[in-house]
Amino acid sequence: MYTQCPECLTVYKVEAESLVPACGCLRCGHCGSIFNALGTLAAQLPPEPFTRLVEHALDQDPPLAEVAVFRPRVAEPAPEPAGMPITVPVEGAAEIHAGEGVQEGEDFTQLTFTPRFARETKRRSWRTAAWVSVCLLLVLGLGAQLAWAKRDSLVADPTFGPALQTACTVLGCELPLVAAPGELRLLARDVEQHPSVPDGLLITASVHNDARFAQPYPVVTIVLSDANGQRLAMRRFQPEDYVGDAAIRTRGLAGGATTAMVFEVQDPGQHAVAFAFSFE
């Protein structure tokens, strides 16, 4: 499926899982705007050239869901818990409990009491519940430590990664960025004379993050070479060299997102006829 940022008109390819955490809202990886992706959601892109995707009305009545594939059974009433007080008729109750605060001569026809075995069972159940709670807390703490130690592997895992992202969205936390330069794919590139620097070149590249998780902006190495493949110039660009907004650098390149990168280099001369990109 595809959607479009209404501010910068950037078109993104999205999966259904990425629309669930914020009820269809996404943050544009190019301009940082937050928009409702459902407004321009499309299964296929229209034939080029196009400027805007078709916008859908979002104020209509909900459609009726008619084809059911599962319906849970009605739960049966739970049995009464053990250990409740028992009411039994007793003959001569005054004589039986005369030493326990019951006055002789009083007329009792029923006696309510809790058997000793029920009281002992209740105490044991409380002790068992306390031990289970302590053990559960210890196991959860150990699991949290292991998860933090292996956080990069868990975030990059195709099974646990989306679940962690959903949990973090609900809890209001942020997952750490995991560097995976091998998941970055160069879609398009171009080089032209710098519009304001006489001996400069302006190199643009469109890069797509094939990973399902966000990763930091990479270190980009650009190599200019001649027709024989001989290297004429090389420069390594740190993220702050081509992403000026610190907030965008902090968020990183979102999973499945595409971004445009612009680099300024010095013109090595007419012999430079080829250039290559690499990510670290």
Q: Give the model's pLDDT for residue 31.
A: 94
Judged against a pLDDT cut of 80, whether residue 263 lies above it is answered with: yes
Q: Fold for 181-279, please state it.
A: Immunoglobulin-like (2.60.40)
Given pLDDT bands bounded at 50, 70 and 90, which one contains residue 136? confident
In this prediction, residues 246-273 reach a mean pLDDT of: 87
Give the model's pLDDT for residue 29. Answer: 92
Q: Return d(Cα 35, Cα 27) in angstroms, integer.
A: 6
In this model, does residue 220 exceed pLDDT 60? Answer: yes
pLDDT tens-digit series, residues 144-193: 676 666 666 666 666 666 666 677 767 767 777 888 898 999 998 888 88
Task: Label residues 82-99 b or e (16+ Cβ within 10 Å = b).
Answer: eeeeeeeebeebeeebee
More confident position, 273 or 110: 273
Q: What share of the chain is helix, strand, coil (3-state, %, to 5)?
A: 30, 25, 45
pLDDT confidence of residue 233: 83
How high is the pLDDT of residue 119? 61
Mean pLDDT value across the chain = 79
pLDDT band at 34 (very low <50, low <70, confident <90, very high): very high
| 3-class DSSP assignment, residue 37 | helix
pTM, entire model: 0.41
Residue 167 has a pLDDT of 72
Q: Where are the domains of the chain?
A: 2-40, 181-279
Of residues 264 and 66, more confidently modeled: 264
